[in-house]
Amino acid sequence: YQGHFSWDKYLKETGSSAAPAHCFRQCLTPPVNEFKSGMKLEAQDPRNTTSTCIATVVGLTGVRLRLRLDGSDNKNDFWRLVDSSEIQPIGNCEKNAGMLQPPLGFRLNASSWPMFLLKTLNGAEMAPVRIFHKQEPPAPAQNSFKVGMKLEAVDRKNPHFICPATIGEVRGSEVLVTFDGWRGAFDYYCRYDSRDIFPVGWCALTGDNLQPPGTKVVLPKSPSTPLESSSERSSMHPAGRGAPRQRGRKPGRPRGRLPGRLPGIW
Ligand code: MLY
């Protein structure tokens, strides 16, 4: 469901253009999603990426799977594209001489892991090998993004959301993803070949739910607002990661003159 948001109208209204599809590490035609809720697979523990764990598909949205690690709680769900290399059929870990690990925050005693694993896999519905995608799409040869290009991006603080976004900065192999109509609290830097960014129109193709832009009024950057200038940004935070920007504003609420507060929306 796309609400009433139309990229066509929006790009015209904002006089902006979409980042071309070749900029992204995504297939031109989104992959087929044949997974079903309840299927089990192997996944890297996002909080402890050297561990391969058992995960259950607890939801599907477009070509993404909502995953929950078996033995973990329901507060740490994560989302993966069906063609992600971070998900594998059950048996893959063992085939590569690895050992399945309990998730970080395993709710039982560590010593009960082997028995837990046995019971978990016994009679489980394992996602069949054939519905996994052989490989992730290749990374584009170079970072072709330009500042101002529009895209769709995962809100990493609320990863079930994919939202309209704009490239705010290009720095080597990284880009700054900024969310349209939201202040900087949700921005992040990522590699140009991140799997969390998609071309305009992606959600319409996959049937995922594209959020409408926020209501923040975007003011053009000018030299009189030094905190927003890119030179200030880079000198303050050369690493470009987790940089606290726009100090003095609390996260969560769009700024601007439009609705100050709409309960239930943020
Ligand atoms: N109301 C929540 C979610 C905000 C989502 C922002 N995204 C779409 C950029 C909050 O304020 O945290």
Q: What would the mean pLDDT of 168-187 be, rounded to a whole number?
A: 97
Report the residue among 197, 255, 266 best suited for mutation to probe ligand 1: largest number of ligand atoms under 8 A from its CB: 266
The protein residue with its alpha carbon nearest to ligand 1, atom 11, reads 252
Question: How high is the pLDDT of residue 262?
Answer: 40
Question: Is the pLDDT score of 253 beyond 90?
Answer: no
User: What is the reported pLDDT for 216?
Assistant: 85
Residues 127, 92: Cα–Cα separation, whole Å: 12
pLDDT bracket for residue 225 (50, 70, 90): very low
Q: Could you count the other beta carbons within 10 Å of the beta carbon of residue 190?
A: 18
User: Which residue from 157, 187, 197 has its CB within 8 A of the most atoms of ligand 1, so it is best to mutate?
Assistant: 157
Q: How far is the CA of 198 from the centre of ligand 1 (A)?
A: 19
Give the helix ranges, DSSP H, for the chain: 7-14, 92-95, 113-121, 202-206, 230-236
Confidence category of residue 3, pLDDT binned at 50, 70, 90: low
Residues with CB under 6 A from ligand 1: 155, 158, 161, 163, 179, 182, 186, 211, 252, 266
Q: Is the pTM of this model over 0.95?
A: no
Q: Which of 93, 34, 105, 94 is nearest to 68 (CA)?
A: 105
d(CA 153, CA 167): 10
Task: Report the helix count and the strand count for the chain, using DSSP H and E.
Answer: 5, 10
Ligand 1 centroid–CA 23 distance in Å is: 26
Q: How far is the CA of 247 from the centre of ligand 1 (A)?
A: 18
At 156-174, the pLDDT tens digits run 999 999 999 999 999 999 9
Which bin fits 256, alpha (ψ -120 to 50), beta or left (φ > 0)?
Answer: left
The confidence band for 24, taking pLDDT boundaries of 50, 70 and 90, is: very high
Residue 246 has pLDDT above 60, yes or no: no
Quick: pLDDT tens for 53-76. 999 999 999 999 999 999 999 999
In the reported structure, the alpha carbon of residue 79 is separated from the centroid of ligand 1 by a whole-number distance in angstroms of 17
Kindly give the distance from the C-alpha atom of residue 166 to the centroid of ligand 1, in angstroms, as a whole number: 16
